[in-house]
Amino acid sequence: MSNAPDAHENDCQYSDGEGPVELIIEPRVKDLGDGFKVRRVLPFHKRRMIGPFIFFDHFGPVTYEPGKGMDVRPHPHIGLSTVTYLFEGAIGHKDTLGTDLVIRPGAVNWMTAGRGIVHSERTPPEERANGQSMHGLQIWVALPEYEQDCPPAFDHHPADTLPVFDLGGGEARLLAGEAFGRVAPIDFPHPILYIALDAPDGATFTASADLAEERAIYVVDGHVTIAGCDFEGGSMAVLKPDHDADVSAKPGSKLMIAGGAPMDGPRKIEWNFVATDKARIAEAAEDWRTSIEDEWNGTRFSLPPGEEEWIPYP
């Protein structure tokens, strides 16, 4: 969804070196126009992945006046699943499987690209006519090697299908994986953890080591303290394996807990493609170019129904 530059490291230090935080990442912010701001956390040069999470973008909040909106033209993906979660606003999703729906706050759009899919993301007609405020996250998770060429798929999970529970005084929503005795309905072929926590009155909890082998806490809004170090909105704290972390969120804070088991090897990322090797990416890039030149005939890629635009390969 963005071309934001790589994140950079926070200079917060721990006096004893024995705390639970391994690395602190502060994303750089880029304005993509019309006040649409994107903060990119992953990939980061010191930490390319956290569990299967390979790309982590925080967009907005942005306010669109009536008649304005977001228009991400059709573009392809391979080798990953995209996960969209909103705090405010609405996004219309179309893809080459024929999916055509609107995601709203609290729900999850889970699109598995596998061997190849094309999708667009646009402001729905009603919100475009009336104007809206939009704020959310788009995440990419890498597929395991044995699944990277699987058939594409799309799953929409409405807000009322996701487990919601109290976590230290805040409202937690389990978006993927298993945690705190709950199981999310998302079926992903690799151990994963993804939780949204809204703490209007504050929250205090322990992000224990047994939640996931690799864990990180991202502060969406507000102020969070972990092991005596303060984090403002936009900061990600990567936690050490086998270390519990005591987390305290001030009233009005929102945060995400993300992680899972280490992925089964490094991944290559180029444009919107993720793969275990460069050959797969080169083939996908050539297929996208050929699809455009041959008017969407003869390759794995086509346009979603009703779409006539596309993003060219850079």
- DSSP letters, 195-220, are EEEEETT-EEEEE-GGG-SEEEEEEE
Q: Taking the domain 162-262, which CATH number applies?
A: 2.60.120.10
**Residues 159-182: pLDDT tens digits?**
999 999 999 999 999 999 999 999
Higher pLDDT residue, 11 or 292?
292
Say how far apart CA 274 and CA 260 lie, in whole Å: 18
Q: Fold match between 29-161 and 162-262? A: yes
Ranges of each domain in the chain: 29-161, 162-262
**Residues 218-234: pLDDT tens digits?**
999 999 999 889 999 99
Per-chain mean pLDDT for the chain = 92
* Class of domain 29-161 (CATH, top level): mainly beta
Say how far apart CA 139 and CA 142 lie, in whole Å: 10
Other Cβ atoms within 10 Å of 202 Cβ, number: 16
Backbone angles phi, psi at 26, to 5 degrees: -115, 115
Average pLDDT over residues 204-210: 96
Backbone angles phi, psi at 181, to 5 degrees: 80, 10
